[in-house]
Amino acid sequence: MALLENPLGHPEKFHISKDLGFILEDPLEELPDCYQVWVRLAKNLPSLIQNGQFREEVKQLPELNISQLQGHKEQRLAHLALAVITMGYVWQDSEVMQVLPRKIAVPFCEISKQLGLPPIMVYADCVLANWKKKDPSGPMTYENMDTLFAFPGGDCSKGFFLVSLLVEKAAASAIGVIPDIFEAIKSKNVESLKESLRTVASSVHKAIEVFDLVHKHVNPNVFFDTLRIYLSGWKNNPLLPNGLIYEGVWETPKMFCGGSAAQSSIMQCFDALLGIQHSSAEEKTSAKFLEEMRNYMPSSHKDFLEAVTSSPSVRDFIISSDDIKLKKDYNECVKALVHLRSYHLQVVAKYIINQSNKQDNAKEKKSSDNQEKGTGGTNLMTFLKTVRNTTEKALLKES
Ligand code: HEM
């Protein structure tokens, strides 16, 4: 099928943009009047949480059905606003809520079903759809951007969400060459394939450069002590051991992972494109987690990843060629991804492991890296190292 050979042949079908990749282009800031109560409440979350009044305000919301929401962008803003409200409601204070009231649970689950997303805040909400330009005619730079919704912790959530968005944008320049790569394989045009691979490697290098902004805009103490809880889910989480009850939707509590950049499609897209498979026996847990994360992406993005995966194998084509330069260009892509994942490991060590150790020292408690869980609920260092090492194993012999 033409669509499978050229997954970006119809980018709009996958809600993907040529310039911004998986980022939602020009997200809406407002919903039709009757739903604006959700947007206003979500916008006021930081001050209402600080005054301990957020849950009370949630209880005052009217019961709304979603029948008047129209189009993908309205659905995405509604999912984002309801997700922010849900996270605030559950995690407002140390008394964790185990039941999400029906006036949030029912519309949230319905809109989630339409988008193919779970009813919890995902990366596609808080990063990909949670941004605007201050000056609409200006560039997409940190200085000219803001988030639509924030969490307690001052500018920490803005820093975390926008830096992730800018990393995503830098890497997105590789998405544009994906159809060229499959076209080059089809027509056995090795020179064109080399050129596209060089674009992929340089996009990943750009992403690493942009990642550095995290140190400028995200304070590790505030991230660890304040923001992290609002990103947390209710799967493998001792604070909600049975999950969350969605009143009026399901009889029994449900478990969902929290928001994490592991739900970004871009890295999985590179893996799929380069034939990097996190699936051998010893990597089973990591592979399973990455696969599970696809269920936390909008279904259109998941479809795109599947279209790339089921296209002819770029890696096999390169292995069967005896062009050493082509193998080198492929390896440059793999090395760039290994570099990105190693850099990410250092960031995670700074923002999570070191912070956790500091707290343990203060409490004179001893813990190991492997006990620390990510917001997605992984044993994070073991998981991240395994994924990085599998990436490295994809390097080809250049002789
Ligand atoms: C302060 C910044 C960051 C921290 C503390 C952080 C933390 C984590 C953690 C703990 C995980 C393990 C999964 C989980 O349980 O949540 C993870 C996975 C992941 N993160 Fe991040 N992250 C950060 C920034 C980013 C950014 C900016 C990106 C790129 C857009 C990114 C991309 C990924 C990916 C793709 C995974 C899945 C593992 C992989 O494919 O290598 N992270 N992150």
Instruction: Name residues of the chain where pLDDT drops below 70.
Output: 1-9, 280-282, 360-378
Task: Give 290-316 pLDDT, tens digit per residue.
Answer: 999 999 999 999 999 999 999 999 999
Q: How far is the CA of 137 from the centre of ligand 1 (A)?
A: 31
The CA–CA distances, whole Å, from 395 to 70, 216, 385 equal 46, 33, 16
**Which residue ranges form the domains of the chain, and what is each CATH number?**
22-361+371-393 (1.20.58.480)
Nearest atom in ligand 1 to the alpha carbon of residue 211 is 27
Calpha distance 120→230 (Å, rounded):
11
Q: Calculate the average pLDDT of the chain.
A: 92
CA of 195 to the centre of ligand 1 (A): 29
Q: Quote the pLDDT of residue 278.
A: 87
Report strand pairing: 245-246 vs 99-100. Answer: parallel
Beta strands in 34-181 (DSSP E): 99-100, 132-133, 145-146
The ligand 1 atom at the shortest distance from the C-alpha of residue 383 is 12
pLDDT of residue 7: 52
Question: Among the atoms of ligand 1, which is closest to the Cα of residue 387?
Answer: 41
pLDDT digits over 107-142, tens only?
A: 999 999 999 999 999 999 999 999 999 999 999 999
What is the pTM assigned to this prediction? 0.94
- pLDDT attached to residue 362: 66
Which is nearest to 83 in space by CA: 162, 158, 145, 149? 149
Which protein residues are within 6 Å of ligand 1, measured from CB? 160, 163-164, 167-168, 211, 214, 218, 223, 260-262, 264, 267, 341, 344, 347-348, 351-352, 374-378, 380, 383-384, 387
Q: Is 217 annotated as a binding residue?
A: no
Of the residues 213, 260, 340, 382, which should be mutated to test ligand 1's pocket, given the most ligand atoms within 8 Å of the CB? 260
